[in-house]
Amino acid sequence: MGGARLSAREELVLGAIIDLYIKTGEPVASQAVARIFEQREGMSSATIRNVMAALGEAGLLEQPHSSAGRTPTAAAFRTYVERFTEPGAGAGGVRVRVVRFGAGVAEAARESEWRGEPGLAWREQIDENFTGVTSTTDFLERTSHVLALLSSGMGVALGGNPVRQILEHVHFSRLTAGRVLAVVVTSGGSVQDRVLALDRDIAAVELETAARYLNENFRGWQVEKIRVEIARRMDEERAAYDQMLTSVEELCRKGALAGAVAGPTIYMEGMANLIGTEQDRERLKEMLSALETKQRLVELLTAYVDSREQEVRVVVGLDEASPAMQDLVLIAAPARLGAENEGTVALIAPTRIQYQQMIQAVRYVAGLPERIIP
């Protein structure tokens, strides 16, 4: 998805309008733009007004009130990030992909690059905040705090599921009627135990048979694929193994293997930063509903961040996800959290953010685990 086709003059004016809007948060009048270009570019106030009118017709500017100046639209911010990044970054450059909400990971987008990393003062502040962090949990928790602090937005850190968990051994123990302890060992040495509340009582001999069946048939399998295969085998082999497979299926359905494929951990901080005035109280409630439903936020990040690509995603137009998210932008990047884990670091902030600094900060933080986590 490329930006609108703009002339050189339109690009200059749009860039100036967005820069002014980012600084002030107020609609931008043609007189303010004219003061920038009258001497430097020789553009008159009438020319500026004509260019702004053309940008409005292109869907890049809108006029909140009849007498007010213009404000950039979501499409304008996409165009801004796409066109006003510095191309040809060398070593240490940041690859940026800008997409509209609803485009997903696969949609083609114009890639841009920015040189370098955050300024020295920011790098020192980031590094200082991560001092002493040696575990994935600490990194994720600290990331949400640091990105909220830097952006005046909401910092988000998502710890993904292990890339693959391989079953080594499973054991079931009957605790009481209808309650079973499941212990799952994976090839990486991880041990998870879980107490299962079953719909019926399963005798100890059935539990032993179920464990033996899983260990003999599924040792070396990826855990998330086992339950699917069991369901398939139940359809094919129900007559011969009805009782045993029914017990195995119920144990898995109730979560026997869930500990090994637990849902991703998500940390969020800085929601209050997204609320500007007392009049925004109702919007806060809507935003909490839209964003603090963790599953919704996990889906949002998963849809736009591809762990195979080491690039920063900039997603605008979040009001399509929820009207309460109007004027917000998502900036996110994948993070490697050890040999077998992928995560995501992100911020959700007002569209009038300092894009270059925030994109660089997100990418810098995303690269920290490989340096600081053993």
Find the CATH number of the domain harbouring 26.
Answer: 1.10.10.10
Strand pairing report for 341-350 and 328-336: antiparallel
Same domain, 66 and 24: yes
Contacts for 369 with CB less than 8 Å, ≥ 6 apart: 136, 139, 335, 336, 337, 338, 343
Q: Phi and psi (nearest 5°) for 144?
A: -60, -35
Same domain, 269 and 342: yes
Domain ranges, residue 255: 167-261
DSSP helix/strand/coil, 40: helix
- Tokens 């302890």 belong to 181
The answer to whether residue 80 sits within a structural domain is no
Same domain, 285 and 141: yes
Same domain, 235 and 279: no
Same domain, 110 and 64: no
The answer to whether residue 284 sits within a structural domain is yes
Q: Where residue 191 sits, what CATH number does that domain have?
A: 3.30.390
Same domain, 255 and 309: no
Mean pLDDT split into 10-residue runs, the chain, 374 residues: 70 90 88 81 82 92 80 86 54 57 39 46 86 86 90 83 71 87 76 78 87 89 78 66 64 61 69 63 60 64 68 78 75 79 85 85 90 81
| pTM metric for this prediction | 0.64
The answer to whether residue 327 sits within a structural domain is yes
Same domain, 19 and 99: no
Same domain, 148 and 186: no
- Residue 74: the pLDDT is 83
The answer to whether residue 82 sits within a structural domain is no
- Residue 227: the pLDDT is 73
